[in-house]
Structure 1
């Protein structure tokens, strides 16, 4: 999908959230279990957040919310399934920005068109941690860059797969630092993290929740945080920008979507349930230990955020000539 069409898709997400209420559909909602489809495997950050969110929403809505893992194709298989579902609020997706902001630039034939989903709310954000294997003799980002520049193409980096946020963060890092580091894609963030910890790969932007036990055990070295601020889990570790790479910022964003055409009254009911979860201190603390910060937004704000993400990552994909096909 080219940048123009990708941006149109993002703008369509904003428009989709104002679908008119259909009283016949919305009356008594929800009256049956809700399916929450995610495009990633069990045990990863998206799965952890989805299950915690589903449990809280179930209590708020007085109806069960069942997580359904449909991994593959940067989450677009799951997103395609939800886009084709009846717009009645009973099939939702918790997607990451790698699916709704990055994949449209990498996959030419998506299984859905622009405006296929209606935004409900941003749910959470999680930074990545720039890590290196313990056997790599570098100190901080400067040491890593010195080595990369002295031996172009010698170092390699692990990602959770082509088009993943870890892949894009790494390519952004290479672009801003003008370094050559070879990409080694894995099938998920967990395997990528373990590959760096095992010394199979030199470097990796990895999920903080997966990496923390390995960092504490001395099996991984944390070099920098990918987000705009330091992580409370690693307060001594600087951000990539603080470490000397201006304009670098990247994080995994998690957002809830429904099929386009879902009545506005149902969107609002779902949004209220998410907002309740985001105000729950116990849930916030539990997810913070996994490196996930709960964040709030209106449906329209999520639509604008998706559009901005499409523009940011579209520019990088074009400049780096990246593709999945």
Structure 2
């Protein structure tokens, strides 16, 4: 009888524990979620974050508030996210410049490669090589010719030291054997405005921010950085099409939570992202901004992030790139 009673008590405890565990996902979330963005307002990451926040809030039935913490190639926000309580109420929409490029260029970092838990790869976007309207070039070949004729005279903007636009530009310089001076800005929005205003000559900039300026005649589009033409500007060739073999670069946007966040919460968030990615109206709207929504879960993002970390590391070492 004692054994039977003990077993009964044990089963009751296990049942209660299982009930509590299964109830945890249902109780999450029950308060506002903060979505960190490591870039200034107006850039591609910020634009996507605000769309994502709006639609995730509907799925999760709780507010999702974007909090811009710009600086240091997004690593300030990344560091804050890594220190946050792992309860699912602090997330970060990061770019590959932060989780795959910065670790090779910024040392020491306040966080390691396992400081954040992957949730989902949300989207990708090519950059677009643009020039100021007064620069007398219309093609990649003409940019290269002018840069070679006057080494060091031309300058380019980027979203910051170590940003995707910085690395894309340095790769372009290396493959074309040109000398173009780097002028870093704090985010894709300011970097794009710098070209439009004539403050700098050219730049690989966020396509979503650049398109309205291109259509208004404030920027000239020369080429896109991706492996295929953008449906937003189908008449604009890729850099490789325009005569620079092996050139390809794109910005990736990925959602992370602090390491140690319960798997059930991670899955709840991943499910919300998948629901967002099935929204055809949103997909079309973002496509017009140059962003393609993708559907991957935590495991796929973990592998993709590791692959990108290795890829950019090889490039940085081979090209001997630095923040100097």
TM-score of the aligned structures, taking structure 1 as reference length: 0.89
Q: Which residue of 1 aligns with 2:46?
A: 47
Q: Which residue of 1 aligns with 2:244?
A: 245
Q: Which runs of 5+ in 1 are unaligned?
A: 1-20
Mapping of residues 87-236 of structure 1, within 5 Å: 87-236=86-235
Q: CA deviation at 1:268?
A: 1.0
1:95 is paired with a residue whose SS is strand
Q: Which runs of 5+ in 2 are unaligned?
A: 1-19
Moved more, 168-177 or 141-150: 141-150
Q: Which residue of 1 aligns with 2:59?
A: 60
2:255 is paired with a residue whose SS is strand
Is the CA contact (8 Å cut-off) linking 1:26 and 1:88 kept in structure 2?
no
- Write out per-residue CA displacement over residues 102-153 of structure 1, whole angstroms, 9 at most, x where no aligned residue: 1101110212123011101000111111011222222311111122222222
Q: Which residue of 1 aligns with 2:10?
A: none
Whether 2:287 is the aligned partner of 1:288: answer yes
What is the CA–CA distance in structure 2 between the aligned matches of 1:205 and 1:22, rounded to whole Å? Answer: 48
Moved more, 119-128 or 284-293: 284-293
Q: CA deviation at 1:31?
A: 1.7
Q: CA deviation at 1:25?
A: 5.3
Is the CA contact (8 Å cut-off) linking 1:22 and 1:263 kept in structure 2?
no
Size of the aligned set, in residue pairs, is 305
2:107 is paired with a residue whose SS is coil
Is the CA contact (8 Å cut-off) linking 1:123 and 1:255 kept in structure 2?
yes
Q: Which residue of 2 aligns with 1:273?
A: 272
What is the CA–CA distance in structure 1 between the aligned matches of 2:186 and 2:85, rounded to whole Å? Answer: 31
Q: CA deviation at 1:310?
A: 1.1
Is the CA contact (8 Å cut-off) linking 2:42 and 2:209 kept in structure 1?
no
Q: CA deviation at 1:22?
A: 6.2
What is the CA–CA distance in structure 2 between the aligned matches of 1:78 and 1:91, rounded to whole Å? Answer: 11
Q: Which residue of 2 aligns with 1:83?
A: 82
Q: Which has the larger radius of gyration?
A: 2
Is the CA contact (8 Å cut-off) linking 2:94 and 2:256 kept in structure 1?
yes
- Write out per-residue CA displacement over residues 159-200 of structure 1, whole angstroms, 9 at most, x where no aligned residue: 111111111110111122222111111222222212212222
1:232 is paired with a residue whose SS is coil
Q: Which residue of 1 aligns with 2:71?
A: 72
Is the CA contact (8 Å cut-off) linking 2:119 and 2:297 kept in structure 1?
yes
Mapping of residues 288-307 of structure 1, within 5 Å: 288-307=287-306
Is the CA contact (8 Å cut-off) linking 1:156 and 1:184 kept in structure 2?
yes
1:187 is paired with a residue whose SS is coil
What is the CA–CA distance in structure 2 between the aligned matches of 1:38 and 1:139, rounded to whole Å? Answer: 34
Whether 2:24 is the aligned partner of 1:28: answer no
What is the CA–CA distance in structure 2 between the aligned matches of 1:104 and 1:197, rounded to whole Å? Answer: 31
Displacement over 6 Å in runs of 4+: none
1:130 is paired with a residue whose SS is strand
Q: CA deviation at 1:211?
A: 1.0
Highest RCO, 1 vs 2 (Cα 8 Å, sep ≥ 6): 1
Is the CA contact (8 Å cut-off) linking 1:39 and 1:69 kept in structure 2?
yes
